[in-house]
Each structure stands twice: as structure tokens, then as C-alpha cells.
Structure 1
């Protein structure tokens, strides 16, 4: 079953967490992005978000798609995103599969969900250049824990 994360309007597969040692393979050419040089969101960047309801979430943005690594999931979920200007405010809008849902609100996916860009940007905990975790493959390096920040951030 798929899960929608409220803090970034994101959805992920809601699967049981696995035990054992966490192992990852990272892109060694990726560098930390300074906040001064990066407009959120930027295509070709990986972001770490945190909120009380969902914990840590990692997203990779391409020009039209976003991939979410959600706590407890064994796969990254692909969605579509657009930036919209409404009444002088920028919103980020995400659309995910109909079979998804938000475990915090209970809302199901399939509809465009928009949130103020400044609110989402305020939940940022870090940014890295590139698809650091290769999320665009649909795979995740390990099962992310809700309250454990990935070391690369």
C-alpha cells in the first residue's frame, strides 16, 4: 500500500521496516549544497525534510518527477511535481498514484496536492547535489527510520 507524507505532499510505499544492518551505496562525487546557492526545489537535487508527523523523508527532484524515500518503506515512490503561482504565493503541487494514502491524515492519493513552497522549504534539513541515493531507480539503499537522520545530511 502507498503512503502520502504531509510535510512535502509526498507519497510512499508503507511497508514494514526490516531488521539488520543498514548499508548504503552513495555517489562519491556528490557535494553538500550551500543554502545560498540553491533555490528550493532545484531539479537534480536530493533533499532531507523532517516533521513531527512523518519524521525524516528524503526526496530527489528531476524536472518533472520527484522520488520519495519514506520511513519504513522498501522502495522509492515516483510522483509528478509542478510549481504554481496562486495569488502571489508559490505552491509546490504533487500528484501520486491512486493506490497511495497518507498515514497521518488518512487521505488517499491520485489527486494533485499543493502546499506553500515556503512551508515546505521551512521543513528542509539538508540538500545534496545529484541523485545521491539513486532514488530515481525506484530502489532505496536501506529502510529509513522515522527518527534517524541519514548520515550524509
Structure 2
């Protein structure tokens, strides 16, 4: 967390109520509020994973060199999500900068496989809880 938000991130977020995150070029990317940070820090990942309907298929793509969210976290998700596919891309960081083609291929292959197995409307219905959880995080 400190590596992404800076050493004094707790002090700055308490003082201002938010931290604006900028990319390597110094351009604004997103804002982290005190509320959203506390929500993320207190999320029970295991409970969130177990709340996903067992019929909902979940794909996690993770970079082996991700320093922001370690690959071991993706392995932890794989332990708790019942209908889960984990794909770790070797040598990739958090941003997948040089691996966009592989990332797109993995996602498209997953979507194609799901479509072949199930009706799209049925799939969306079974994933409602997962979608709501993701929306709450955005």
C-alpha cells in the first residue's frame, strides 16, 4: 500500500480526506478517499469470495511480478472461489504494460468458453452478487 500511495499516505488521507493518485507521467488517474481505503483495508476477502454464487464463473488474471497486489493474493482467491480460473502471466507487473495481447487473449478465451457452456442471461443472473460486489469497489 505504501509503495502505491506513498510513505505518508495515512497522514495525507486523514488530513485531506483523500489522495489523488497520479501515474508515472504525473497525470491524474483516480482518487482514493478515506472511506474507500478503509473499506478495502477491512474487506474480508474470504467471505467476499464465498459469497459468489457457485455457478458464477470467475477469472482472475495476475502478474507474477506484481508488487502492488502480490501473486500470492490471487492464489488465495483461487482457494475460496468455487468456480474459478486463475491465470498468472509470468514477468508481468500490476499494469500488464508489455503483455496486452496475452491479457486480451486470456479474457476472450474465457468469455468464449463460458458462452459455449451456458446461456448468457443465465450466466449474468448467477453472477449478480459478484457484479454487485465489483460495482461497490469501483
Bin the TM-score by the shorter chain. under 0.3
Q: With a CA cutoff of 8 Å and minimum separation of 6, indicate the structure with the bigger relative contact order.
A: 1
Richer in strand (by share): 1
Richer in helix (by share): 2
- TM-score by structure 2 length? 0.23
Mark the structure with the bigger radius of gyration.
Answer: 2
